[in-house]
Amino acid sequence: MKRLAIATLLAATALASPASGADKPLDAKGTWSVTTRGSAPLPPMGWNSWNAFGTDIDEEKVIASAQLIVDSGLAAKGYRYVNIDDGWWAKRRQADGRVLIRTDNFPSARTADGNTSFRPFTDRLHAMGLKAGIYSEIGRNSCGQIYGDPKGPGQPAGTITEREIGLYGHIDQDIALYFGEWNFDYIKVDGCGIRALAADSPQVKSGRLRALDPLIDYDTIPRTNIPAVKALFDQVGEALSRNKPGNDFVLSICLWGSADVRSWARTLGNLSRTSEDISPNWERMLHNLDSASRRELYAKPNSWNDPDMLFIGSGEFDDAHLTEARSHMSLWAMLNAPLIIGFDLRKASPAMMGVLGNAQVIALNQDAAAHQAVLAYDGDSVQIFTKTLADGSKAVALFNRTGSPIDVKLIASHLKYRADQPITLTDLWDGGTQSFTSEMPVHLERHQTLLFKASGTRERAQGLYLSEQPGNVNPAVDGIVHPMADPMVYRGLLPWRSTKADGEHPVYGGWGGARADATPFAQTPKIAGRTYHNAIGTLANSRLEVRNTGFSSFTTLAGIDDSVADPAVRVRFSVHADGKLLKQTGWMKPGDSPATIAVPVKGARIVELVAEGNRPEMQTVAVDWAEAALDR
């Protein structure tokens, strides 16, 4: 394992550090590197069986849920994907490697030749105007097999190899079956099988499952074999492209923020899970929220952050907790998270259907501008999220994380609106309107989120700060060399672990990446003693791709953030348009005043911002593109 860790470290360094030759990662490419595979221009919406039924799924439950989605009007509001999760398989036939379906639970899958087929099932969903989703696993064995009850429902049967129903060793075959033959539209691919089956694991020691040397060390980030994990998912992406050449599919990568998935998911998958599973309690919702809320620059059309499914309707988000249910829905909408219902809709009350079906809130999630909300105020008690909408207005969510009422103030600069002009707010839950100038006091009840659509006069009259349009800013190279655990994620008690360990420690390789209006390490950007509230913060040895949606000029004040203490650090900044160098600064040192850059970009599709350091590894060197903006 020591040799594996060293090899992994070297491979990660090679991927992230400046290289020789034509493939230097800091060289301007003139391209947008977010994947074009798959079809998720907006966050997918739908339903998944897991939170409601676990592995105890069957055709009747799934079709009944699908019918309720149609009959209730949720389908017309965008909930289109109906996804079966773990528990659908019978075994893998050893003669030819074909995965067989549990026909006792999915009777329409029976075939005369015994091959079984989901085609009647997907045809039925498609005839209802819906899309069909399936679950698989990148390793040999699914999460339900590894962590579930061996005698519980939905467990594959047969010999140890017949029960290996994951993609490992069968990627091309299984993807061809699921998408070519069975005509599914969506696949969620889990990663438990490449994480949890070391030789000393309980399942392996008992002889129930075969060992598979882990590629992911979930608790010790540097020991994960990042290139090997990515290579497996690359194969899935290539197989999907072959079997769905029209790109009419969604690939959901479920690696829970591990394996530095943040840095490469955008080149491959349409959704990327940012954390472990959500649970129907407030603490776990905070945990999952935090795993995605500071990754605003890592969510894009066709590749979204996924903090897991909605748990609205259950536990602390049920009818007795309407405030919490609305907060959950509001926050997922602001994050541009996939809106995937995880509830037995046969039990849904009118109030819960009203939360899930709020057209105004859904519209925030499905807004065509496709910008994940940015934290305008970030605290342990209160957070304020803002997002720029396609019609030029803003949305703002004021969120009370605590169990006590609290009084706060919304100020014009949170919205990047002028403080001397009126701002109008429309409440997206009760429809009320109010106006203020400069600042407004707001009272928040415990766990409450007030959600508004706001209109006012922008600070930047003829354009937008880059931090107002995170969906158009892609950290193609963010300067991270060795992924680091994220200390900002709320660490609540895990229901399935309780206190049978020494605590919940920071995990998820998400600390130190590019941020909007913050440094990579969650501080306010500051250069040469001056604070900047409009900035893109990143690391030295980074390259940002910026989509230009019709603007004529780019301006910024570029410099080394005051958090950098090493006097030997040097960074130079350059701006490129469609691969052509427009401006390059000289080498700058800590404490230098920022360099003023103003360049024409009319007609350019991609503007690239490069911060080049004077040595290969500069993971602690924060740099700021302060006041970075595109103007007409």
Cα 178–Cα 165–Cα 204 angle in degrees, nearest 5: 160
> pLDDT class for 16, splitting at 50, 70, 90?
very low
Hey, what are 28's tokens? 């301007």
Q: What pLDDT sits at residue 7?
A: 39
% of residues, the chain, pLDDT over 70: 96
- What CATH number does domain 465-631 carry, 3.40.30.10, 1.10.287.3510, 3.40.50.300, 2.60.120.1060? 2.60.120.1060
266-270 mean pLDDT: 96
Domain spans of the chain, in order of start: 45-190+227-315+336-355, 465-631
532-547 mean pLDDT: 98
Q: What pLDDT sits at residue 495?
A: 81
In angstroms, rounded to a whole number, what is the distance separating the alpha carbons of residues 495 and 155?
22
Q: Where are the beta strands (DSSP E) in 461-562?
A: 463-465, 473-477, 515-516, 526-527, 530-531, 535-539, 542-547, 553-560
Q: Give first-to-last CA distance, the chain, whole Å.
A: 55
Tell me if 550 sits within 8 A of 544, measured CB to CB. Answer: no
Per residue in 146-184, pLDDT (tens digit) is 999 999 999 999 999 999 999 999 999 999 999 999 999
Report the candidate in 600, 599, 601, 596 with the shortest Cα–Cα distance to residue 585. 596
In angstroms, rounded to a whole number, what is the distance separating the alpha carbons of residues 555 and 311?
43
**Residue 221 carries which side chain, given as an amino acid letter?**
I
Q: Which three-class secondary structure string do you get for 80-136? A: CEEECCCCCEEEECCCCCCEEECCCCCHHHCCCCCCCCCHHHHHHHHHCCCEEEEEE
- CATH number of the 45-190+227-315+336-355 domain: 3.20.20.70
In angstroms, rounded to a whole number, what is the distance separating the alpha carbons of residues 179 and 498?
39
> pLDDT class for 30, splitting at 50, 70, 90?
very high
Q: What pLDDT sits at residue 1?
A: 35
Q: What pLDDT sits at residue 620?
A: 94
421-426 mean pLDDT: 98
**Residue 581 carries which side chain, given as an amino acid letter?**
L
Hey, what are 199's tokens? 């030789």
Tell me if 612 sits within 8 A of 28, measured CB to CB. Answer: no
Q: Whose structure tokens read 């994220």?
A: 486
> pLDDT class for 18, splitting at 50, 70, 90?
very low
Beta bridge partners of residue 417, listed in sequence order: 458
461-476 mean pLDDT: 97
Known catalytic residue: 391? Answer: no
Q: What pLDDT sits at residue 2?
A: 35
Would you say the C-alpha torsion 60, 63, 66, 70 has a positive or negative sign? negative
> pLDDT class for 15, splitting at 50, 70, 90?
very low
Q: Where are the beta strands (DSSP E) in 126-246?
A: 131-137, 186-190
Pairing of strands 553-560, 542-547: unpaired
Q: What pLDDT sits at residue 498?
A: 87
CA distances (Å), 258 to each of 206, 361, 522, 581, 607, in order?
27, 30, 20, 35, 30
For residue 477, is pLDDT > 90? yes
Beta bridge partners of residue 137, listed in sequence order: 190
What pTM was estimated for this model as a whole? 0.95
Q: At what angle do helices 59-71 and 119-127 cross, to 10 degrees?
A: 10
Known catalytic residue: 277? Answer: yes
Helices (H) and strands (E) in the chain, counts: 13, 31
Instruction: From the candidates 174, 185, 277, 561, give the one annotated as an active-site residue.
Output: 277
Q: Whose structure tokens read 């024409």?
A: 600
Tell me if 611 sits within 8 A of 539, measured CB to CB. Answer: yes
Query: What does 377-394 look like in DSSP terms, one character per residue?
Result: EE-SSEEEEEEE-TTS-E
Mean pLDDT over the full length of the chain: 95
Half-sphere exposure of 611 (CA within 13 A, CB side): 37
Hey, what are 393's tokens? 């207005």
Q: What is the CA radius of gyration of the chain?
A: 24
In angstroms, rounded to a whole number, what is the distance separating the alpha carbons of residues 347 and 585?
62
**Residue 388 carries which side chain, given as an amino acid letter?**
T
